[in-house]
Amino acid sequence: MLAKDLTDDTILPAKTSDTGTLALAWMDEYKVNHLPIVNNGNYVGLISEEDIYTSNIFEEALGNHKLSLNMPYVSENQHIFEVLKLATNLKLSLIPVLDLKNNYLGVITLRKIIDELTATASVNTPGGIIALEINANDYSLSEIAQIVESNDTKILSLLITSDAESTRMNVSLKLNRMDIAPVLQTFNRYNYNVKVILVEDEVNDDMQERYDSLMKYLSI
């Protein structure tokens, strides 16, 4: 999934001649905390809600003040993971997208990223979840896949998390079936440390609750 596939051109950018009050009104309408500033198709910067309140530039032109963010953006051919990394590192509610000639195309909202990753991770597809704790040196995707598939089961999605201060990693598997007992037995036979097991009702309730909480947060 590339940035150009996620770009939204319906969120109108501000211009350097617009006031802070107008920019805040648009942020409120679009439910975001940032807004790109674009003049004649040229991206000139990203202003945040905090910039406006801190600088007290409510009735002044946005172009009269220095922005705290140094023109963050992604190109149209960057992968969704790179977009998410930038949004996370800079705590952005949206990311401007430029084409290969640096023309402004639109923005990708954090909400859009979450929606796409939710669909990609098969969160709403029925199936069980198994979380394994593995030593990083022992991790083998081919072995894990072989264990799962030997029980007539498929991996719908896989998520790996790790701690920089630890040699352990957590591998979460979303499977395509609810009866995961045979898979668990095989993991136990291979001496895998199974940390979490979730079945359909638990998956639906837990994932939906987390998703709803995130959407509520993004709407604040």
Q: Where are the domains of the chain?
A: 3-118, 124-216
Q: How many CB atoms lie within 10 A of CB 122?
A: 15
User: What class, spelled out in words, does domain 3-118 have in CATH?
Assistant: alpha beta
**17 pLDDT exceeds 60?**
yes
Q: Hey, which bits of the chain come out as E strands?
A: 34-39, 42-48, 74-75, 94-98, 104-109, 129-135, 155-162, 168-175, 193-198
Rounded-to-integer distance, Cα 201 and Cα 1, Å = 30
Per-residue pLDDT tens for 169-214? 999 999 999 889 999 999 999 999 998 788 755 444 554 455 455 4
Res 204: pLDDT: 47
Rounded-to-integer distance, Cα 102 and Cα 145, Å = 42
User: What mean pLDDT is predicted for residues 59-71?
Assistant: 83
Q: In what order do the strands lie in the sheet with 168-175?
A: 155-162, 168-175, 129-135, 193-198
CA distances from 56 to 21, 53, 81, 91, 132 (A): 10, 5, 35, 22, 50
Rounded-to-integer distance, Cα 182 and Cα 160, Å = 22
Higher pLDDT: 65 or 30? It is 30
Report field, pTM of the whole predicted structure over 0.75: no
Instruction: Kindly state the helix (H) or strand (E) to which residue 164 belongs, with its residue range.
Output: none
Average pLDDT, the chain: 87
**33 pLDDT exceeds 90?**
yes
User: What mean pLDDT is predicted for residues 96-104?
Assistant: 95
User: What mean pLDDT is predicted for residues 4-9?
Assistant: 93
Res 214: pLDDT: 47
Q: Which superfamily is assigned to 124-216 in CATH?
A: VC0802-like (3.30.2130.10)
User: What mean pLDDT is predicted for residues 133-138?
Assistant: 92
Res 203: pLDDT: 46
Q: How many CB atoms lie within 10 A of CB 207?
A: 17
Instruction: Kindly state the helix (H) or strand (E) to which residue 150 belongs, with its residue range.
Output: none
Residue 115's pLDDT band, with cuts at 50, 70 and 90, is confident
User: What mean pLDDT is predicted for residues 111-116?
Assistant: 88
> Quick one: angle between helices 110-120 and 200-218, nearest 10?
170
